């Protein structure tokens, strides 16, 4: 693994009035890493991620994403990242192929490249039969896998995944992580938030957010060691116990 830094934040903060959703978070993510972003509901994960994607302007602090400044170069950032939100974000009234074409197209992929990638994607997901079906008619697990594949279609440097496996069955979750590994192998940095502690174990490094602060940042093995726990669940409980914010 190279040590090139692709995400670097310095005291990144987001305030909504008196409420501080993300409080001076500082961390670095290295190229090609699978970086897990953990925390209870309302801990500030989504807020932090939206700032990094350029969807939300920070209140204070600095960050560089893929070498671009988070305030002044958001459009450059957007060319270099992929994003998959909590809400399913493909068009349900378009077919699988139409969705792929649309998102590939607006990222400026050439027709040739797009066709190549599209065929490969459909083959990898085994969706040959579903290619001409409306996305709305697919089961959730398939939709999520498709959404991820579309998010990395334009080969971004970093892909942000906001609870990508929420509501998905264990088998599909496993397949989903295979896709993440494949993307990671091809050099894409993965930034993923999750509630599932078994998924946390799949990450290279993880951070734990509690009440808007970063409470821990290390590899899963080191964290378990540090809290003398056998599973990530125990680490999570140990850290989240001090939380004041009620889950929403």
Residue 27, interface with another protein (CB under 8 A)?
A: no
121 near 149, Cβ under 8 Å? yes
The one among 102, 196, 213, 227 contacting another protein by CB under 8 A = 102
91 near 102, Cβ under 8 Å? yes
The one among 1, 106, 171, 247 contacting another protein by CB under 8 A = 106
Is residue 132 classed exposed, middle or buried when 0-12, 13-18 and 19+ CB atoms within 10 A define those classes? exposed
Q: Which residues of 213-226 are buried (b: 16+ CB within 10 A; e: fewer)?
A: bbbbbeebeebbee
The residues, ordered by sequence, that sit 6+ positions from 194 with a Cβ below 8 Å of its Cβ are 36, 37, 38, 163, 164, 165, 200
How many whole angstroms from its chain centre is CA 32? 13
- Two structure tokens written together for 197: 């502690």
Query: Which span (5-13, 51-59, 211-219, 231-239) binds another protein, by CB under 8 A?
Result: 51-59
Give the DSSP letter of residue 247: P
Residue 78, interface with another protein (CB under 8 A)?
A: yes
The one among 68, 103, 176, 236 contacting another protein by CB under 8 A = 103
Residue 54, interface with another protein (CB under 8 A)?
A: yes
107 near 156, Cβ under 8 Å? no
Least separation in angstroms between residue 73's CB and another protein is: 11
Least separation in angstroms between residue 146's CB and another protein is: 13
The one among 23, 26, 56, 172 contacting another protein by CB under 8 A = 56
- Two structure tokens written together for 51: 């700032």
Residue 53, interface with another protein (CB under 8 A)?
A: yes
Length of the chain: 248
Least separation in angstroms between residue 53's CB and another protein is: 5
The one among 25, 29, 90, 216 contacting another protein by CB under 8 A = 90
Residue 247, interface with another protein (CB under 8 A)?
A: no
User: Total binding residues for another protein by CB under 8 A?
Assistant: 29
Angle 35-26-226 (CA atoms, 0-180°, nearest 5)?
A: 65
The one among 31, 74, 113, 231 contacting another protein by CB under 8 A = 74
- Two structure tokens written together for 139: 């089961």
Residue 87, interface with another protein (CB under 8 A)?
A: yes
- CB nearer to another protein: give 52 or 214: 52
Q: Which parts of this chain interact with another protein (CB under 8 A)? A: 53-57, 74-75, 78-79, 81-83, 85, 87-94, 98, 101-103, 105-108
């Amino acid at each position: 693994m190279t040590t090139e830094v692709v995400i670097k934040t310095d005291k990144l903060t987001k305030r909504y009035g008196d409420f501080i959703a993300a409080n001076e978070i500082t961390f670095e993510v290295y190229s090609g890493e699978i970086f897990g972003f953990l925390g209870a509901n309302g801990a500030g994960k989504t807020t932090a991620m939206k700032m990094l994607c350029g969807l939300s302007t920070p209140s204070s602090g600095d960050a560089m994403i893929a070498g671009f400044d988070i305030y002044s170069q958001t459009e450059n950032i957007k060319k270099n990242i992929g994003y998959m939100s909590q809400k399913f974000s493909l068009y349900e009234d378009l077919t699988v192929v139409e969705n792929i074409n649309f998102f590939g197209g607006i990222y400026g992929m050439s027709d040739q490249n797009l066709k190549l990638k599209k065929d490969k994607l459909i083959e990898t997901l085994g969706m040959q039969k579903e290619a001409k079906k409306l996305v709305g008619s697919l089961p959730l697990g398939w939709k999520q896998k498709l959404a991820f594949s579309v998010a990395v279609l334009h080969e971004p440097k970093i892909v942000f995944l906001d609870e990508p496996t929420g509501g998905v069955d264990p088998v599909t979750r496993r397949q989903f992580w295979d896709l993440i590994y494949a993307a990671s192998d091809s050099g894409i940095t993965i930034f993923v938030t999750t509630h599932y502690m078994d998924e946390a174990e799949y990450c290279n490094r993880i951070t734990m957010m509690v009440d808007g602060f970063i409470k821990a940042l290390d590899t899963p093995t080191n964290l378990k060691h540090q809290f003398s726990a056998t599973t990530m669940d125990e680490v999570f409980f140990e850290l989240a116990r001090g939380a004041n914010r009620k889950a929403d």
